[in-house]
Amino acid sequence: MKRMIIAAVVAALMLSVCAAGVSAENTVAGDFVFRDTEGGLELVEYNGTETGFVVIPSTVDGKKVVAIGSYAFDPGHGEENDKGHPEVMSVSVPSGVTDIGDRAFYKTGWISSPDSADAYGCIIINGILVKYLGAASEFTAPAKVKVVNYGAFEGNSTLRSVILGDGVGSVLDYAFYKCSALERVSFGKALSYIGDYAFSQSALTSVDLPQNIYSVPRACFKGCASLRMVTAGSVTNIGESAFSGCTSLTSLHFSDGKENVFPRSLRSVEGYAFLSCAIKSLTLGSGVRNIGTCAFADCKDLTDIYINDDACSAGSIGDYAFGIDLNKNEAGTYTPKVDKNVTVHIACARNADGSLSLPERRSSPVIRYCFSPDPGGILPPVAYDIDRTVLLGDADLDGSVTAMDARVALRCAAKLGDAPAGIGVTDLDTDLDGAITASDARMLLRAAARLDVLPETLRA
């Protein structure tokens, strides 16, 4: 009987704890609720009512407090009549805390009062810049800042320039979200992580990402309508909506320095990554294996795309990735669903005997065949029109470029004769300048002697 009574009491206690919104696995210490996390305890909820100063314990039951969870001081966030803890005007955080979650001190009087800030206009906890409360137009992060926390500058309307020193290693989600006046940001060498939406809807005009940034995160620069140029290193992934709505973005420079030539390190361009950008042409490196839905859709100025055929395998290109549907159908063709003035140059390889290994014929008039002079080439230099089998520069239609073709081009350039029947200007215009000139003949002669590849302007 005694055991039954004890069991009933324990069960009742567990039910009362759960009814109060606290898991039986959590640890309650006064006004605080903690849970186990890597290295110690995480504060997940504050339930006090006292006005003024709150001291978070450094240890509980012998375990070190190492983290403060998201909305820890606003456990009722999202609920009707949620008021948070406006009575909390200051918080003492243990020195062992190295991780502070999103909006951890949301709706406290402390996090919203300029009086809480230091001389830099910041609330900084153990190297984490939790909140900027200043009103300056320029800001340089103090040397002690290692992390710019979730939403630290969110909604600021005065800052135009930010310098993050060499000590800053992470800029977390929404850090500079909707900073409507922010035009310039300078990153330090230590930066290795940028979070989702970090600079979304800001006024940035150019961005120079450090070499340590290998992935551009989801919606990081989404809606930056003034952003014109981005410089980055050997990125491997460009996240969903990363540059979506950057309607002024025309110039991308990666590790090789060439404009709008994506690096060989790039593996994936996720959905909507460059939706509605102003890019005119782009070259996707030979490493690309995934292009997401609408990745380059609504890029109204985009006319030329260069891509390796390996990236065109079934399922690797999302619907309307370029504003046209480039997925292979059952017949092995690519059928565009939107009529757009875009040429998609698909690379193919030169065989050991010198002949070209073409991809399967596409039925779309907006796609051109190309080949790369070497398997690792990222910019295919020779193009074939999709609706014809004429090799660029092949004036006599014999399937190869020879000295005879160069002579025909030279006669056309000198106005001594017309191109053969079935051959147009675009078939002999090897330098893509819109006319047949002596330069085209010279390039054809070099190609015939295996001294060059065509056209020069499309070389890697």
Residue that is last in its domain, among 85, 116, 147 = 116
**Residue 386 lies inside a defined structural domain of this protein:** no
The pLDDT value recorded for residue 5 is 46
The pLDDT value recorded for residue 436 is 84
Encode pLDDT of 118-130 as tens digits.
999 999 999 999 9
What is the mean predicted confidence (pLDDT) over 302-327?
Answer: 66
The pLDDT value recorded for residue 241 is 95
The pLDDT value recorded for residue 321 is 78
Encode pLDDT of 323-353 as tens digits.
655 444 565 544 444 445 566 666 554 556 6
Residue that is last in its domain, among 116, 132, 166 = 116
Distance separating alpha carbons of residues 101 and 450, to the nearest angstrom: 61
The pLDDT value recorded for residue 50 is 86
Res 316 pLDDT > 50: yes
Encode pLDDT of 392-449 as tens digits.
667 776 666 788 888 888 888 888 877 666 565 556 776 666 678 888 888 888 777 7
Please provide the DSSP assignment of 230-247 as one string: EE--S-SEE-TTTTTT-T
The pLDDT value recorded for residue 42 is 97
* Nearest partner of 139 among 131, 325, 446, judged by Cα: 131
The pLDDT value recorded for residue 296 is 87
The pLDDT value recorded for residue 146 is 97
Alpha-carbon Rg of the chain, whole angstroms?
30
Q: How many C-alpha atoms does 340 have within 13 Å on its Cβ side?
A: 25
What is the mean predicted confidence (pLDDT) over 2-14?
Answer: 46
Name the pTM for this structure.
0.72
**Residue 141 lies inside a defined structural domain of this protein:** no
| Residue 45, Cβ density class (10 Å: 0-12 exposed, 13-18 middle, ≥19 buried) | buried
Q: State how beta strands 59-60 and 63-68 pair.
A: antiparallel
Q: How many domains does the chain have?
A: 2
**Residue 424 lies inside a defined structural domain of this protein:** yes
Task: Report percent pLDDT > 70 for the chain.
Answer: 70
The pLDDT value recorded for residue 220 is 98
Average pLDDT, the chain: 79
Task: Report percent pLDDT > 90 for the chain.
Answer: 48
Which of 26-35, 360-369, 384-393 is the most confident on average? 26-35
**Residue 435 lies inside a defined structural domain of this protein:** yes
Q: Which residue has the tokens 């404009």?
A: 259
The pLDDT value recorded for residue 54 is 95
The pLDDT value recorded for residue 306 is 74
The pLDDT value recorded for residue 294 is 82
**Residue 33 lies inside a defined structural domain of this protein:** yes
Please provide the DSSP assignment of 77-125 as one string: TTSTT---BTTEEEEE--TT--EE-TTTTTTBHHHH-GGGS-TTSEEEE
Encode pLDDT of 178-226 as tens digits.
999 999 999 999 999 999 999 999 999 999 999 999 999 999 999 999 9
Q: State how beta strands 40-46 and 63-68 pair.
A: parallel
Between 290 and 159, the higher pLDDT residue: 159
The pLDDT value recorded for residue 341 is 58
Domain that holds residue 97: 19-116
Q: Are 162 and 188 in contact (CB under 8 A)?
A: no
The pLDDT value recorded for residue 148 is 98
**Residue 133 lies inside a defined structural domain of this protein:** no
- The CATH number of whichever domain residue 59 belongs to comes to 3.80.10.10
Res 21 pLDDT > 50: no
Between 157 and 282, the higher pLDDT residue: 157
**Residue 32 lies inside a defined structural domain of this protein:** yes
Q: Work out the pLDDT band at 286, boundaries 50, 70, 90.
A: confident
Between 127 and 84, the higher pLDDT residue: 127
Q: Are 274 and 296 in contact (CB under 8 A)?
A: yes
Encode pLDDT of 218-269 as tens digits.
999 999 999 999 999 999 999 999 999 999 999 999 987 889 988 889 999 9
Residue that is last in its domain, among 58, 90, 116 = 116
**Residue 273 lies inside a defined structural domain of this protein:** no
Q: Work out the pLDDT band at 377, boundaries 50, 70, 90.
A: very low
